[in-house]
Amino acid sequence: MPDVGDSATARLTVAAGDNTTSAVLLVTRPDGTTVLPTATTSDGGATWTAPVLYTLAGVWQLTWTVTGAGAGVTPEAVSVAPAPGAVPRVGARVYADTTWLANYLQAAPPLDSARLLLEASKLLDSEFLVAAVYDVDADGLPTDAEVAAAFADAVCSQVQFWGEVGEETDISGPLQGVAIGSVQLQYGAGENRSGPSYVAPKLPRELAMLPAAKFRYVAWAGC
């Protein structure tokens, strides 16, 4: 499987190919744009090759169209992986970068750190910040340095937790609460739910240390 930035040689063998055979390769990128690389043969039309440069992650469609002897259409799909450590999608709110994560772990971070930090930031947003009040900028990121640092440490604690136990689904019910400061929020549904296994134990503690003047909760809809 190629990565973004890799170049490859697309190859087609035409069983009945001869000097009347002609082949064209249409490359359709994941964003729908197309390119026609130069296809050549060195054996009288039996084998054709064309260079392809994979510039985007996603599924690429390679379609060979042959005319003359051996005429036909041969499609192929190629899955292209993002480069290791690729930046999350534009517009995504991420509370820590890989440098912060490396310093938090005191170790080299995993190669998919950018994705893990994005997922941890989404978890923080959906499970802990829905009812939180704090100052933000135009991108929804905290403007106070102490709050920003706490959020960064919180998502890093989640990435560290995933590195220890693996990325898990919610097997304990939705988050309905956690104690942060004077606010008591409840986990899960049912009397014996202790909390979702996918939340790092250190994550709520990072938020609990923030002063109420900078970070507080309003009424939680799940309470």
Summarised one tens digit per residue, pLDDT across range 111-139 is 888 889 999 999 999 999 998 999 999 99
Please say if the pLDDT value at position 179 is more than 60: no
> Does 85 fall in a domain?
no
Same domain, 125 and 180: yes
Residue 112 CB neighbour total at 10 angstroms = 15
> Does 44 fall in a domain?
yes
Are the CB atoms for 117 and 97 separated by under 8 Å?
A: yes
Could you tell me the residue range of the domain that residue 68 belongs to? Answer: 7-80
> Does 23 fall in a domain?
yes
Looking at 52, 80, 108, which one is the last position of a domain?
80
- Please give the pLDDT value at position 111: 82
State the DSSP H helix or E strand holding residue 212, giving kind and residue range, or none if neither: none
- Please give the pLDDT value at position 88: 65
Same domain, 74 and 158: no
> Does 201 fall in a domain?
yes
Same domain, 68 and 105: no
Same domain, 74 and 130: no
Are the CB atoms for 81 and 3 separated by under 8 Å?
A: yes
Please say if the pLDDT value at position 12 is more than 90: yes
68 band by pLDDT with thresholds 50, 70 and 90: very high
How far CA 53 is from CA of 47, 60, 98, in Å, comes to: 20, 11, 28
Same domain, 14 and 124: no
Q: How many domains does the chain have?
A: 2
